[in-house]
């Protein structure tokens, strides 16, 4: 089963997830896109390289007992590693290659992301039993261990940046960016609003606030961290941030859509939970059709932002399309 079911029809029109028959128009074009199998293989290979980096970092830490087991369990269970890939590819775009700083930043953002999932699944939050195809951390261990495992990943992320990035000014920028986008004016703020909005009459404004903060800002952060590691000037930096924000918002809309249209087996997490918890989601507030059109528009806009980078940005273009088409 491919991680991401990416395909572009011959006339450059797409079928959207959950609505495979329905074709919608896209404004942007990708010249000579890699085939779905090739891009899927690239994503797998790159995700595997992130897994090695994470394994190495964890193995180098002096952590014992159940905490070490829970950390290995949570970080070792393969996720898609999309935020990490975004760091690497934004660095590559700007600097022509992936450097050591980008690898550390990729590991750091994945740690923060994994922590956010462990806490998101807790009974006090979304109360989920399955994550990445296995029992959630609090089910495999216990609630206290899950809380502390999340805390450990969050703090470790900042430690590896503080100690591992050679240039102090770069370290400081990366730490500031991650702290901001994962913090109260970013992911935490969005998560809080998401919980408060349950069972409420959701508005489009509230919905956008929740999704931009809980998810899109971590994507912006990944793009920003990659650009910082690559030494981007202000203009390309701003463009990549904007690209990250747009694909990030699209990513959460897809997550909402897949919660309705995909199976738990496919997702590796419980499907249909958003409706049961009366979550403020795009399908619930604006409907499936509008949600899919918005995904498409955001992808178009994200790809348009990459124009000044020319062919060098093809991987990021394909990533945007792949995320639009993902089925898990
Ligand atoms: C899940 O993120 C949480 C959301 C922001 C929708 P991912 O879908 O990237 O989860 P993993 O890392 O692949 O498990
Ligand atoms: C979670 O959004 C976003 C995070 C910041 C973790 P969801 O609650 O929709 O993510 P899933 O569906 O549980 O992965
Ligand atoms: Mg949630
Ligand atoms: Mg959840
Ligand atoms: Mg969800």
Q: Please answer whether residues 192 and 54 qualify as being in contact, where contact means their C-beta atoms are separated by less than 8 angstroms.
A: no
Question: Which ligand is nearest to the Cα of residue 198, counting in written order?
Answer: 3
What mean pLDDT is predicted for residues 24-29? Answer: 68
132 lines ligand 1 (CB under 6 A): yes
d(CA 23, CA 325): 12
CA–centroid distance, 242 to ligand 5, in Å, is 23
CA–centroid distance, 261 to ligand 4, in Å, is 16
Q: Which atom of ligand 1 is nearest to the CA of 110?
A: 12
| Distance, first Cα to last Cα, the chain | 10
Sorted by where each starts, the structural domains of the chain and their CATH numbers stand as 37-325 (1.10.600.10)
pTM score of the predicted model:
0.93
pLDDT at 11 over 50: no
255 lines ligand 1 (CB under 6 A): yes
The DSSP H or E segment spanning 116 is: helix 100-120
126 lines ligand 2 (CB under 6 A): yes
pLDDT at 6 over 50: no
pLDDT tens digits, one per residue of 313-324:
999 999 999 999
pLDDT tens digits, one per residue of 186-226:
999 999 999 999 988 889 999 999 999 999 999 999 999 99
Q: Which atom of ligand 1 is nearest to the CA of 252?
A: 6
d(CA 261, CA 28): 26
CA–centroid distance, 225 to ligand 4, in Å, is 25
136 lines ligand 2 (CB under 6 A): no
Q: Which atom of ligand 1 is nearest to the CA of 120?
A: 3
Q: Please answer whether residues 261 and 275 qualify as being in contact, where contact means their C-beta atoms are separated by less than 8 angstroms.
A: no
- Taking a 5 Å cut-off on Cβ, the residues next to ion ligand 3 are 120, 126
Q: What angle do CA 57, 226, 228 make, to 5 degrees?
A: 110
Tokens of 296: 């498409």
**11 contact partners, CB below 8 Å, separation of at least 6:** none
CA–centroid distance, 194 to ligand 3, in Å, is 7
**Structure-token match 């740690």, residue found:** 111
Helices (H), the chain: 36-59, 65-76, 82-95, 100-120, 137-140, 143-164, 168-182, 187-196, 204-211, 217-230, 234-261, 264-267, 273-276, 282-285, 288-305, 314-325
CA–centroid distance, 256 to ligand 5, in Å, is 5
DSSP 79: -
254 lines ligand 2 (CB under 6 A): no
Please report, rounded to a whole number, the percentage of residues in the chain having pLDDT higher than 70: 92
For residue 16, what are the β-bridge partners?
Answer: 19
Tokens of 70: 């829970």
Q: Please answer whether residues 244 and 223 qualify as being in contact, where contact means their C-beta atoms are separated by less than 8 angstroms.
A: yes
Q: What share of the chain is helix, strand, coil (3-state, %, to 5)?
A: 70, 5, 25
């Amino acid at each position: 089963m491919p991680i991401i079911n990416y395909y572009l029809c011959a006339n450059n029109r797409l079928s959207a997830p959950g609505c495979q028959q329905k074709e919608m128009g896209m404004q942007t074009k990708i010249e000579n896109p890699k085939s779905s199998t090739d891009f899927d293989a690239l994503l797998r290979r790159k995700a595997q390289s992130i897994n090695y980096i994470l394994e190495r970092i964890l193995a180098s830490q002096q952590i014992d007992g159940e905490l070490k087991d829970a950390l290995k369990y949570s970080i070792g269970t393969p996720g898609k590693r999309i935020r990490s890939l975004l760091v690497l590819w934004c660095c590559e775009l700007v600097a022509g290659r992936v450097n050591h700083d980008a690898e550390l930043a990729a590991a750091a953002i994945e740690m923060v992301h994994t922590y956010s999932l462990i806490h998101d699944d807790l009974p006090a939050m979304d109360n989920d039993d399955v994550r990445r195809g296995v029992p959630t951390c609090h089910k495999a261990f216990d609630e206290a261990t899950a809380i502390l495992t999340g805390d450990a990943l969050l703090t470790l992320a900042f430690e590896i940046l503080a100690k591992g990035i050679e240039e102090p000014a770069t370290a400081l920028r990366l730490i500031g960016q991650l702290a901001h986008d994962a913090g109260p004016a970013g992911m935490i703020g969005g998560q809080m609003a998401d919980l408060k909005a349950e069972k409420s009459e959701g508005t489009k404004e509230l919905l956008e606030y929740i999704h931009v903060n809980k998810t899109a800002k971590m994507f912006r952060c990944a793009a920003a961290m990659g650009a910082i590691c690559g030494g981007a000037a202000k203009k390309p930096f701003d463009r990549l941030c904007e690209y990250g924000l747009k694909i990030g918002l699209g990513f959460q809309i897809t997550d909402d859509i897949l919660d309705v249209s995909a199976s738990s087996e496919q997702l590796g997490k419980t499907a249909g939970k958003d409706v049961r918890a009366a979550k403020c989601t795009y399908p619930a507030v604006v409907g499936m059709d509008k949600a899919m059109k918005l995904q498409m528009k955001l992808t178009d806009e994200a790809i348009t932002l990459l124009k000044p980078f020319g062919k060098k940005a093809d991987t990021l273009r394909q990533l945007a399309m792949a995320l639009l088409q993902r089925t898990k």
